[in-house]
Amino acid sequence: MKTRLLSIALAAATIAACHRNDGTRESIPGTYVNHAEGEYSIADDTLEVTPDSTQEHTYRILRRSTFVRINEGDQGNPVRQREEWTVLYHPETQILQDIRKRRNITLQPESGSLTVERRKYIKVDD
């Protein structure tokens, strides 16, 4: 009987550890921005991250970007793009992975930011 109770307690502790919540998952949704400026261009990106209501650990990211070329000091017309990503959250690594392009998005919940490839996005809104 004691062995059985010990086994049940161990199983419950294992399940609880697997479902441990450090608050990262709840902090993911929101709006993130990035601004980059150089000699030849200016770029502004916005990522809107929302949970997918149909699948656990899945998020939708809407990326809106504006890109302006600079030629001899003159700014060209802005080029706007929009794309949608579906990403999976891996709690053990705190990484979101783009399903289609296989790119990794690293979360930094303590600083309210995330990194896509080499671009750092700052969270501005929940």
Measured distance CA(98)–CA(112) in Å, rounded: 20
Is 50 part of a structural domain of the chain? Answer: yes
Residue 110 has pLDDT above 90, yes or no: no
Q: What is the CATH number of the domain that holds 63?
A: 2.40.128
Single-letter code of the amino acid located at 100: R
The boundaries of the domain holding residue 47 are 23-125
Is 115 part of a structural domain of the chain? Answer: yes
Count: domains in the chain: 1
Is 1 part of a structural domain of the chain? Answer: no
- What pTM did the predictor assign? 0.78
The mean per-residue pLDDT over the stretch 20-38 comes to 82
- Report the mean per-residue pLDDT for the chain: 85
